[in-house]
Amino acid sequence: MEVLRIFGAMYVYAEAFEKAEPYLIKATDLEASLYHYDQGYGGLEYVNLLSLCSLYDRWGKPDRLEACECRLIPIVEKIPGPDTHLLELLLGQRAKALRTLGRAEEAAQAEQRLKALQPSAAVNPN
């Protein structure tokens, strides 16, 4: 799984996004089948999915990013603790992707969720 993500990352850094995608999709599929997005794995359960979403953001594929984040955000929401930085980042990206796709109402909902998080994040910045 790690090797697949590393190969994908090499292509991402070379901006050969279409070559990176199959590696990251396979790594994500393996990750889901092994970890079932169980929080007991301390972040390992979604690292490949996060990498795949990051690929779509860098590649400028808002439709794929939005679909990826639909899978990732519910997982990140379950992470215990006061730090909401990753969730804030994902909600901001989701809102931007939805606006690009012409789905302003859904983008506004993501932005509202983001605004609701920010006061607590200001108290606990880490």
Average pLDDT over residues 51-71: 96
Structurally, how many domains does the chain consist of? 1
Which residues have CB under 8 Å from 117's CB, separation 6+? 84, 87, 88, 91
Question: What is the CATH classification number for the domain harbouring 80?
Answer: 1.25.40.10
pTM of the model: 0.82
What is the domain extent for residue 96? 2-123
For the ranges 12-16, 50-54, 79-83, 117-121, the lowest mean pLDDT is seen at: 117-121
Residue listed under structure tokens 């980042």: 89
Report the helix count and the strand count for the chain, using DSSP H and E: 6, 0
